[in-house]
Amino acid sequence: MRKVSIMGVQYKIFFDSDDSRLDYADADGITDSTAKEIHIAKFENCPNSISNLHVYKQKVLYHELVHAFLYESGLDSNSDWARNEEIVDWFALQHKKIDSVFSEIE
C-alpha cells in the first residue's frame, strides 16, 4: 500500500488488489472516494495479455488518480463530463505532455 495526497486529502493506493468490486465493475482499477482508496487489480502475464503489464498498471493508476482529483475538486458530483471515462482517460494519458509544456514556459 502507498499513500498520496490528492488536493490535501490522503488516499491509500492498493496495488495487486483483490477487491471484489473490481470484478463486479469489470474494472482494472477503482477509486472509492468515500474511503479515500484507489484499488489497482493484479495483472499477470498470460498468452493473451499485453507484453508490458507495468506500463498498463501505470496507465490504470493515472486514470484512477484523475478520478480522485476530479472528486476532491468537487467536479465529480457537479458535472457529467468529470465522470466521463473518455475524458478521464484523456487527462490520464496526456498529463505528462501538459506538464512538460507548463515546465517549459516557466
Domain 2-104 annotated CATH 2.40.128 = no
For 93-104, the pLDDT digits (tens) are 999 999 999 999
Residues 77-94 pLDDT 10s: 878 888 899 999 999 999
Count of C-beta atoms within a 10 Å radius of residue 73: 12
Q: Chain centroid to CA 52: how far? A: 18
pTM of the predicted model, to two decimals? Answer: 0.88
Q: Where are the domains of the chain?
A: 2-104
Q: Give Cα 69 to chain centroid, integer Å.
A: 9
Q: What is the pLDDT of residues 22-58, one digit of tens each?
A: 887 788 999 999 999 999 998 877 777 777 888 999 9
